[in-house]
Amino acid sequence: MCMKHGQDLRWCFGCKQEYPRERHFSDWMWNHGGKARKCNACSQGQCDTDIKTDVCIDCKKPLPQNAYSDWQWFKVAEGKRKCRECCTGPRSKDKVGWWKCRRKHCQSAGQLLPKEVFHMWAAKQTKIIASNAICDVCSMKDRETELKMQLDNVTHVQTHE
């Protein structure tokens, strides 16, 4: 009891001080807090104004929380997360129409390219499977190699006759 003002005081288990009800405790904390009672100042959460970021393990970019799915942000350990862009599979609506050339020596290896860049390969296919796609640059190289081999075969046969 506060002798000066005749107020009832309650103990805050956060800051370890006694306060009167007015301006220091919510109604619930005053009446039901018990050993978990905290004054208004102690019961306020931390105000994080800093934007939290993490580096994606695939693209190595430091990205904010909204660049990750909730599962990646809250369930995967920091430093081991993959951003939404890197997690998006080839069948996702975000990547439909974007394919990768399957040739390892391709100048755009590992990059997604618009499917229009694969029209030479697609024209020869009866069933199009994006994971088998070969870009037009590689298709042209293959065609040049094929023509060179045919020319070599013709000249080889001619020299033996």
What is the reported pLDDT for 3?
A: 53
The residues of the chain scoring below 70 in pLDDT are: 1-6, 45-50, 89-96, 156-161
Question: Do the domain assignments include residue 92?
Answer: no
Q: Which amino acid is at 74?
A: F
* pLDDT per position as a tens digit, 96-133: 678 888 888 888 877 888 888 888 888 888 888 877 88
Question: Do the domain assignments include residue 16?
Answer: yes
Are residues 109 and 71 located together in one domain of the fold? no
Question: Do the domain assignments include residue 2?
Answer: no
* pLDDT per position as a tens digit, 94-105: 666 788 888 888
Question: Do the domain assignments include residue 115?
Answer: yes
Are residues 103 and 156 located together in one domain of the fold? yes
Are residues 102 and 147 located together in one domain of the fold? yes
Query: How far is the C-alpha of 47 from the C-alpha of 84, rounded, in Å?
Result: 27
What is the reported pLDDT for 158?
A: 64
Question: Do the domain assignments include residue 64?
Answer: yes
Q: What total of structural domains would you count in the chain?
A: 3
Question: Do the domain assignments include residue 93?
Answer: no
What is the reported pLDDT for 47?
A: 57
What is the reported pLDDT for 54?
A: 92
Residue 79 main-chain phi, psi, to 5 deg:
85, -5
The conformation of residue 51, written as its DSSP 8-state character, comes to P
- Residue 18 lies in domain: 9-42
Are residues 111 and 59 located together in one domain of the fold? no
What is the reported pLDDT for 55?
A: 93
Are residues 139 and 118 located together in one domain of the fold? yes
Strand pairing of 53-55 and 62-64?
antiparallel
